[in-house]
A and B are shown apart, each in its own frame.
Chain A
Amino acid sequence: MRILDLLVSGLTLGSIYALVALGFHLVFKMTGVIDFAQGDKVVIGGLIGLTLVNQGLSAVLVVALIVLAAGIVLGIAYDAIVILPTQGNGPIAAIAATVGITLVFANGGQLIWGPDGKPFPPVATGGIELGEVRIGYQDLLIWAVVLAVGIGLALLLGRSRVGRGMVAAATDPLAATAVGVNVARMRAIAFALAFGLAALAGVLVAPITLAGGALGTALTLKGFTGAVLGGLGSTRGVLAGALLLGVIESELGVVMSNNVVEPIVLIALIIILLVMPNGLFGLRRQRLA
């Protein structure tokens, strides 16, 4: 049952993309910026996790929570240092700043942790057998995390006061300020969540891909592809699109070599952007030109 096995690995891959894509979604909704460093945040998260593991922390949950917390702190700093000062200087400034920070993340990470990928102990070993399909605990854990994050975000944005403030600040910052929403704080929360989720994804993906190395841009592109496939403006759409991308990418491995899938996904990104910029589940029509 190769197809079902690939479905399992595809869902896992898609879950990782989903954590990256949700970051794109949050940041885009709040600021209209597309963050080119989103994938590099994942790598940084994995490397922080590796440092914790090397310090002798073996409990997975603790490592994941510390990395999540570190990511949230870094996200607030990221907003204050990279995004806020360059807002209002035009789109080129915002893009160039996030491209600049990819250099800092990628090369700074190399300075601290070395240029090559490092092996990362598996978060969970073993698995369960369902008929002929084997699902590792690692996969189940990643799915559970994405499910929890998805439900949590939906509740946060839809039900809580903070979430409504974020939606208000994203829709109309001026009006939101007038009714007492602290727009700057809402932005900081969005960036904190984006970095935190990416860092969490880093810990989860590190046992599969190695921690560190030159993965950042690939993850940025894949996460963004998943996000626009589902529709960048919709939380549910982004989740569905990322999962779908993971599954499709994995299943394409049945008919062709993995090397060939890479360029195909990139071509697909361009076609999606050109042909259906609102994605499959986009909320409303938006023009990219």
Chain B
Amino acid sequence: MPDKAFALRAGRHLAPTLVAAVILIGFAFTNAGATDLALGVNIGVAAIAAVGLTLTIGGAGQLALGQAGFMAIGAYGTAYLMRDREVAFLPALAAGVALALVIGVLVGYIALRLRGHYLAMATLAVGTGIHAFLMLPGPLGGVNGYAPIPFPEIFGYRLLDPRDQYLLVAVTLILVLLGSRWLLTARMGRELAAIRDDEVAARSVGVNITARKVQVFAISSAIGALAGGVNAPLQTAIDPSLFSTAVSIQLFVMVILGGLGSIYGAVLAAALVTWLISVVPGRGSWALTVLGLIVIAFMALLPDGFAGLARVGRSLKARWSRPGPAAGTAVGEGSK
């Protein structure tokens, strides 16, 4: 019964996103104050960018450390078109995302030739280079930033209320989650996982490695740009410090803590990291120091993040409920 199987698969994959959607939308109607909603916007933006990065790092096993650069492309692209060219919000956002898509394709071609540490360093250079470019004095304002950006207007409705602004980010995040979930479970996701686990084997079963790598970098960059582009008009002013290398590293940490490949884990980690930075005094120094130590501990003990914890739990449970592997070997020896 293919229909039933499809429905089951779709249901299983939609359920977590539906739960996330209920929580995200529900938060807007819990009488949250303007500060909470602003924090919600920041969390949502970080979560979108982190989900995009998860596709590259977790989905395809390609280390990328420059996501903040793509957020900057989306933010500055959208802001420039809205303010200086007086383009409406949605077309401006689309143009910013398209620009990041093109640059993501270029980075994808870099990733075809570099691996591991070298790719991480090259993408770090891309992100830092975009930041350095934005620091140049010029029409984009350099160090002083770019302002004022008009508030977004969707089909004639101006998003002035903090709740509306939060809802815009939340809906974007839900759409990104749906798209990423679909991408990871569709053929593309399987092929990416094959590339991540063994590139030679993937090639031997007919995976087009060139196309998949370039596509995943382009998509991940575009999602990063979406995060920046949605955020820029809500903040009304942007400056290069919002997209510094430190932000790229924070996004990387979110993906690591989220369990390398789990998009919901990335959302949770984005919420945790963003919340900690905002509530812990001293510009989050304490929080980030501790997070750095947690990352090292994770990499030493649970290299797969929280997702690894689940697997350790499952294997423990399996050991409890079933005779251990020793029984199996005994049978094997007996039959010999």
CA of A169 to CA of B22, assembled, Å: 56
CA of A217 to CA of B244, assembled, Å: 10
A259 partner residues in chain B, CB cutoff 8 A: 132, 135-137
Chain A positions 57 through 93: 1 when the CB is less than 8 Å from some CB of chain B, otherwise 0 = 0000000000000000000000001100110011111
Which parts of A213-261 form the interface with B (CB within 8 Å)? 214, 217-218, 220-221, 224, 259-260
Instruction: Tell whether, in the assembled complex, residue A289 and residue B114 are in contact, meaning their CB atoms are under 8 Å apart.
Output: yes
Instruction: Tell whether, in the assembled complex, residue A97 and residue B57 are in contact, meaning their CB atoms are under 8 Å apart.
Output: no
A37: nearest chain-B partner, CB-CB: B292
B303 partner residues in chain A, CB cutoff 8 A: 86, 89-90, 92-93
The interface stretch among B78-86, B180-188, B220-228, B246-254 is B246-254
Closest 4 A-B residue pairs measured CB to CB? A103-B292, A100-B295, A85-B300, A266-B129
A115 partner residues in chain B, CB cutoff 8 A: 283, 285
B292: nearest chain-A partner, CB-CB: A103
Instruction: Tell whether, in the assembled complex, residue A221 and residue B124 are in contact, meaning their CB atoms are under 8 Å apart.
Output: yes
Instruction: Tell whether, in the assembled complex, residue A92 and residue B252 are in contact, meaning their CB atoms are under 8 Å apart.
Output: no
CA of A128 to CA of B65, assembled, Å: 44
Instruction: Tell whether, in the assembled complex, residue B121 and residue A289 are in contact, meaning their CB atoms are under 8 Å apart.
Output: no
Instruction: Tell whether, in the assembled complex, residue B288 and residue A103 are in contact, meaning their CB atoms are under 8 Å apart.
Output: yes
A34 at the interface (CB under 8 A from B): yes
Instruction: Tell whether, in the assembled complex, residue B63 and residue A97 are in contact, meaning their CB atoms are under 8 Å apart.
Output: no
- Choose among A34, A96, A101, A104 the residue that contacts B256 (Cβ–Cβ < 8 A): A96
A277 partner residues in chain B, CB cutoff 8 A: 118
The interface stretch among A6-14, A145-153, A204-212, A267-275 is A267-275
B162 at the interface (CB under 8 A from A): no
* Max chain B C-beta neighbours (<10 A), residue from A92, A94, A221: A92
CA of A273 to CA of B112, assembled, Å: 12
A106 partner residues in chain B, CB cutoff 8 A: 246, 288
Instruction: Given A107-B285, A107-B289, A274-B113, verify A100-B296 contact (CB < 8 Å).
Output: yes
A34 partner residues in chain B, CB cutoff 8 A: 117-118, 120-121
28 pairs of residues in contact across A and B, judged by CB atoms under 8 Å: A34-B117, A34-B120, A85-B300, A91-B116, A92-B303, A93-B300, A94-B299, A95-B116, A96-B252, A96-B298, A103-B249, A104-B293, A110-B282, A111-B289, A115-B283, A217-B128, A221-B124, A221-B125, A224-B121, A259-B137, A262-B135, A273-B121, A274-B113, A274-B114, A288-B115, A288-B118, A289-B112, A289-B115
CA of A274 to CA of B109, assembled, Å: 10
A158 partner residues in chain B, CB cutoff 8 A: none
B96 at the interface (CB under 8 A from A): no
Instruction: Given A85-B300, A263-B133, A274-B113, verify A95-B124 contact (CB < 8 Å).
Output: no
- Choose among A36, A89, A99, A263 the residue that contacts B300 (Cβ–Cβ < 8 A): A89
A278 partner residues in chain B, CB cutoff 8 A: none
- Choose among B113, B128, B245 the residue that contacts A289 (Cβ–Cβ < 8 A): B113
Instruction: Tell whether, in the assembled complex, residue A33 and residue B117 are in contact, meaning their CB atoms are under 8 Å apart.
Output: yes
B129 partner residues in chain A, CB cutoff 8 A: 262-263, 266-267
B114 partner residues in chain A, CB cutoff 8 A: 273-274, 288-289
Which parts of B34-69 form the interface with A (CB within 8 Å)? 57, 61, 63, 65
A103 partner residues in chain B, CB cutoff 8 A: 249, 253, 288-289, 291-292, 295
B260 at the interface (CB under 8 A from A): yes
- Choose among B65, B132, B283 the residue that contacts A99 (Cβ–Cβ < 8 A): B65
Instruction: Given A93-B303, A266-B132, A288-B115, verify A108-B289 contact (CB < 8 Å).
Output: yes
CA of A82 to CA of B115, assembled, Å: 22
A15 at the interface (CB under 8 A from B): no
CA of A96 to CA of B110, assembled, Å: 20
B141 at the interface (CB under 8 A from A): no
B118 partner residues in chain A, CB cutoff 8 A: 34, 273, 277, 288
A90: nearest chain-B partner, CB-CB: B303
Instruction: Tell whether, in the assembled complex, residue B128 and residue A266 are in contact, meaning their CB atoms are under 8 Å apart.
Output: yes
CA of A99 to CA of B296, assembled, Å: 9
A108 partner residues in chain B, CB cutoff 8 A: 285, 289, 292
